[in-house]
């Protein structure tokens, strides 16, 4: 799902170049690169704190209550990252030797360093998918196999609501959840960009998460907070999740300074509409540049540009952009990803389009 998004060499080289770029950089690599807003910094500075491992941090407790209510779940747990949230969910819902069903290319399978296998002793079974939407017939075939001592138990289905910016239709997710329920399987939603999905589908966040046993989402992607994710579910699931978080080293003590920024981000989730509009405008502008490449459908805040058999390739385009202090992500040898977020604007889009035009003129 993520691909190789950084285009500036080693971490040391990236840091050196980013510092050289100064304040005029337009960073479209990901929505994880955002900086905390003034409102977030103020909230962080003024946050009341306590020891969250003891359950005594006021800001964390408020954030967990607000997050759970947002997706209509009983309880929630603040964790350092989306990867940890997903791995906690796997640990809560499975036993050693189980198999977890996911759509092909799912983050929990492809981008979490085989953590489910290493931490929970489970196998991951990929099911065919189109634009992140799991193949329902293939899913049903796995879920409804007769019990057999020779194969793993499909105890958990893990879904995603967006995939490279593509919205997985709510009705499609609901049908996948129904199939899992019919087979007695549990359901986790890796909702890293759940609020982008809600905006794209024109529904409330609770509708995106409906029917799931647990759901996770990130504060540090489109929502723009500096750190953190949350896992939401039943009170019992979150009780177990807290223990697994401790086992994974995720207890953060006076985490209220982080939770305060996340609360500001959560309260402003509807601003994601602006990111989606900017991505749509960018896609339209790119499509108007003859010979720049093929633009994929835009559902949310991401634009995918595919270049094949052109006078210049992705690497040439990325290098030209970098020379103008514009950064984008590379998904493959011929596909680049451009992500809109709160730290880029129309002027940055115009700069990007200007570089594209200069290459094809």
Secondary structure of 317-328 in HEC code, one letter for each residue:
HHHHHHHCCEEC
Q: Does 321 share its domain with 352?
A: yes
Cα–Cα distance, 339 to 303 (Å, whole number)? 6
CB atoms within 10 A of CB 171: 9
Q: Which domain holds residue 192?
A: 47-267
Q: Does 129 share its domain with 227?
A: yes
- Closest to 174 measured CA to CA, from 201, 215, 218, 210: 210
- Closest to 156 measured CA to CA, from 213, 113, 114, 106: 213
- Taking the alpha carbons at both ends of the chain, their separation in whole angstroms is 33
Residue 194 has pLDDT above 90, yes or no: yes
- More confident position, 7 or 250: 250
Domain boundary among the residues 267, 285, 315 is at 267
Residue 5 domain-assigned (yes or no): no
Least confident stretch, 60-64, 140-144, 290-294, 337-341: 290-294
Please enumerate in sequence order all residues whose Cβ is within 8 A of that of 85, keeping only pairs 6 or more positions apart, or say none.
Answer: 79, 190, 216, 229, 230, 231
Residue 213 domain-assigned (yes or no): yes
**Tokens 């906690």 map to which residue?**
88
CATH number at residue 310: 3.90.1150.10
Residue 38 domain-assigned (yes or no): no
Q: Does 165 share its domain with 261?
A: yes
The pLDDT tens digits of the residues spanning 90-147 come to 999 999 999 999 999 999 999 999 999 999 999 999 999 999 999 999 999 999 887 8
Contact between 215 and 189 under an 8 Å Cβ cutoff? The reply is: yes
**Tokens 């647990």 map to which residue?**
214
CB atoms within 10 A of CB 4: 10
Q: Does 207 share its domain with 66?
A: yes
- Closest to 71 measured CA to CA, from 266, 215, 175: 215
Length of the chain: 361
Residue 60 domain-assigned (yes or no): yes
Domain boundary among the residues 252, 267, 282 is at 267
The pLDDT tens digits of the residues spanning 305-331 come to 998 766 678 888 999 999 999 999 999
Q: Does 25 share its domain with 128?
A: no
Q: Does 20 share its domain with 56?
A: no
Tokens read off for 99:
């198999």
DSSP E strands, 191-299: 214-218, 229-233, 294-295
- More confident position, 283 or 145: 283
pTM: 0.93
Cα–Cα distance, 113 to 91 (Å, whole number)? 16
Q: Does 257 share its domain with 284?
A: no
Q: Does 222 share its domain with 197?
A: yes
Residue 16 has pLDDT above 80, yes or no: no
Angle subtended at Cα 167 by Cα 214 and Cα 66, rounded to the nearest 5 degrees = 40
CATH number at residue 195: 3.40.640.10
The DSSP bridge partners found for residue 159 are 189
């Amino acid at each position: 799902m993520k691909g190789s998004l950084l285009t500036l060499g080693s971490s040391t080289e990236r840091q050196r170049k980013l510092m050289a770029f100064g304040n005029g950089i337009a960073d479209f690599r990901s929505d994880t690169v955002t900086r905390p807003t003034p409102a977030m910094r103020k909230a962080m500075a003024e946050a009341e704190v306590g020891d969250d491992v003891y359950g005594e941090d006021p800001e964390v407790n408020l954030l967990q209550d607000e997050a759970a209510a947002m997706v209509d779940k009983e309880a929630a747990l603040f964790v350092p990252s989306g990867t940890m949230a997903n791995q906690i969910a796997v640990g809560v819902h499975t036993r050693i030797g189980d198999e977890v069903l996911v759509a092909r290319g799912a983050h929990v399978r492809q981008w979490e360093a085989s953590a489910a296998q290493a931490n929970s002793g489970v196998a991951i079974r990929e099911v065919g998918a189109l634009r992140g939407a799991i193949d329902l017939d293939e899913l049903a075939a796995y879920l409804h196999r007769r019990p057999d001592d020779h194969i793993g138990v499909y105890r958990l289905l893990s879904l995603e609501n967006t995939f490279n910016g593509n919205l997985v239709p709510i009705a499609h997710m609901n049908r996948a959840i129904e199939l899992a329920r019919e087979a007695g399987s549990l359901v986790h939603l890796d909702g890293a960009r759940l609020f982008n999905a809600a905006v794209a589908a024109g529904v409330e966040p609770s509708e995106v998460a409906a029917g799931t046993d647990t759901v996770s989402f990130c504060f540090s992607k489109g929502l723009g907070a500096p750190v953190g994710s949350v896992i939401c579910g039943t009170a019992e699931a979150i009780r177990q999740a807290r223990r697994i978080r401790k086992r994974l080293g995720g207890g953060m003590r006076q985490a209220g300074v982080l939770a305060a920024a996340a609360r500001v981000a959560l309260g402003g989730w509807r601003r994601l509409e602006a990111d989606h509009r900017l991505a749509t405008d960018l896609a339209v502008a790119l499509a108007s540049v003859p010979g720049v490449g093929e633009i994929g459908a835009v559902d949310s805040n991401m634009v995918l540009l595919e270049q094949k058999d052109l006078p210049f390739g992705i690497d040439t385009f990325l290098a030209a952009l970098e020379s103008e202090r514009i950064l984008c992500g590379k998904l493959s040898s011929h596909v680049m990803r451009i992500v809109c977020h709160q730290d880029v604007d129309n002027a940055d889009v115009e700069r990007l389009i200007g570089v594209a035009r200069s290459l094809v003129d």
